[in-house]
């Protein structure tokens, strides 16, 4: 009976070890589950915190963009007004430039006619003419 009793005691020990092992695995699984739940809660809390920070950041960014957009619009309006003011100035300066061109061209034309008149005299001065002084030709 000692062989059977040894066999039974060995089987009992194995059963006890299996039970302890199963209990240990159950505890480990429960710990992992609670850790994962706690991790999920921490994750959700972090996610909520990040989301609220991002929401605040986006709101601030929208406000800044709106202010910058308004500043850009004001600058564009100012530039348009300056351009409108410069256009009449440019036309008057163009008119004065054209007037000065026409007056200089008329003075150039009159000086050209003066030169032509003088030039005509000059050409007459250097033309060959027959002068008779005695019977010699020059």
What whole-number distance in Å separates Cα of residue 23 and Cα of residue 4? Answer: 28
Percent of the chain at pLDDT above 70? 62
Two structure tokens written together for 101:
């061109």
Return the bridge partners of 136, or none: 133
Locus of tokens 């003066």: 114
For residue 10, the number of C-alpha atoms closer than 13 Å in the C-beta half-sphere is 6
130 neighbors 137 (Cβ within 8 angstroms): yes
Please report, for residues 24, 28, 48, 60, 81, the alpha-carbon distance to residue 53 in angstroms, rounded to integers and kept in the order given: 42, 36, 9, 11, 42
Mean pLDDT for the stretch of residues 37-65? 87
Please return the burial class of 42, using the count of CB atoms within 10 Å of its CB with bins 0-12, 13-18 and 19+. Answer: exposed
Q: What is the pLDDT of residue 6?
A: 86
Q: What is the pLDDT of residue 114?
A: 58
What 8-state DSSP symbol labels residue 133? Answer: B
pLDDT digits (tens, 9 = 90+) for 89-131: 555 555 666 666 655 554 445 555 555 555 555 555 555 555 5
Q: What is the pLDDT of residue 89?
A: 57
Per the prediction, the chain carries an average pLDDT of 76
Domain boundaries of the chain, sorted by first residue: 6-94
């Amino acid at each position: 009976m000692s062989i059977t009793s040894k066999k039974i005691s060995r089987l009992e020990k194995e059963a006890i070890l299996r039970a302890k092992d199963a209990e240990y695995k159950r505890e480990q699984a429960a710990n992992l589950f609670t850790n994962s739940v706690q991790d999920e809660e921490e994750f959700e809390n972090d996610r909520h915190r990040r989301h609220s920070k991002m929401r605040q950041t986006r709101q601030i960014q929208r406000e800044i963009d709106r202010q910058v957009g308004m500043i850009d619009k004001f600058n564009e309006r100012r530039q348009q007004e300056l351009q409108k003011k410069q256009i009449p100035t440019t036309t008057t300066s163009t008119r004065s430039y054209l007037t000065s061109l026409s007056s200089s061209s008329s003075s150039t034309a009159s000086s050209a006619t003066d030169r032509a008149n003088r030039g005509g005299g000059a050409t007459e001065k250097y033309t060959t003419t027959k002068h008779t002084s005695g019977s010699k030709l020059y």
